[in-house]
Amino acid sequence: MVFRYTIGSYNMLIIPFESEKSPKEIFESLKMLIGENFTVLDGSKPYTYRQIFLAYIMAKRAFARRKNISKSLGLEMLLYLSGTRQIREAIKIFGYKGGKGVLVLWNTNNDEHILEIMKKITTLIKGSLIKPNIDYLVESGYSRDIAKRYTEAGLEELLMLELLTLLEVEES
């Protein structure tokens, strides 16, 4: 599953994945393939696309106003997601630690460029892009009923965790 979001001049791709490679290997390879326009988040944490997108916008704004704490947009996004001003804490809370991850790419305007990036990423990860099933969702802490309702809905245009949150609210 790949999610593409665009609002005005802001655009990004959100790609949940699973890999057995070390975080260091993934970061170094992605840096060589993509450059600086990415960050990788811990895939075991619950995010909505709005949270990720807002963190991206706030980080861009911080750089524009020269109020940024970190030297990279990806780390600045982690700071906004975690709600802390300490880089070490932000990495500890939301940084990628291996296994399940969420790759966030920005400044992806050209569809051909996106296709090229996706080909490179799938060979790099040598894991799988996550398409959740009932067992995966139950392992992640969701009730079996919520997991079943999500997989039956089959709505891939919504970020998985956002839809699950909506289903949980509806259930309570």
pLDDT band at 156 (very low <50, low <70, confident <90, very high): very low
Q: pTM for the full model?
A: 0.69
Instruction: Report the chain's mean pLDDT, rounded to a whole number.
Output: 77
Cα–Cα distance between 47 and 18 in angstroms, integer? 16
> Which of 28, 36, 1, 41 is CA-nearest to residue 122?
1
| CATH number for the domain formed by residue range(s) 3-131 | 3.30.2380.10
- Cα angle for residues 140, 161, 50 (degrees, 5° grid): 145
Question: pLDDT band at residue 29, thresholds of 50, 70 and 90?
Answer: confident
- Write the pLDDT tens digit of every residue in 9-21: 777 888 787 788 8
Query: What pLDDT digit, counting tens, does each position of 73-119 carry?
Result: 999 999 999 999 999 999 999 999 988 888 888 877 666 766 677 67
Q: How far is CA 46 from CA 52, 60, 80, 106, in A?
A: 11, 22, 15, 20
Mean pLDDT on 26-34: 84
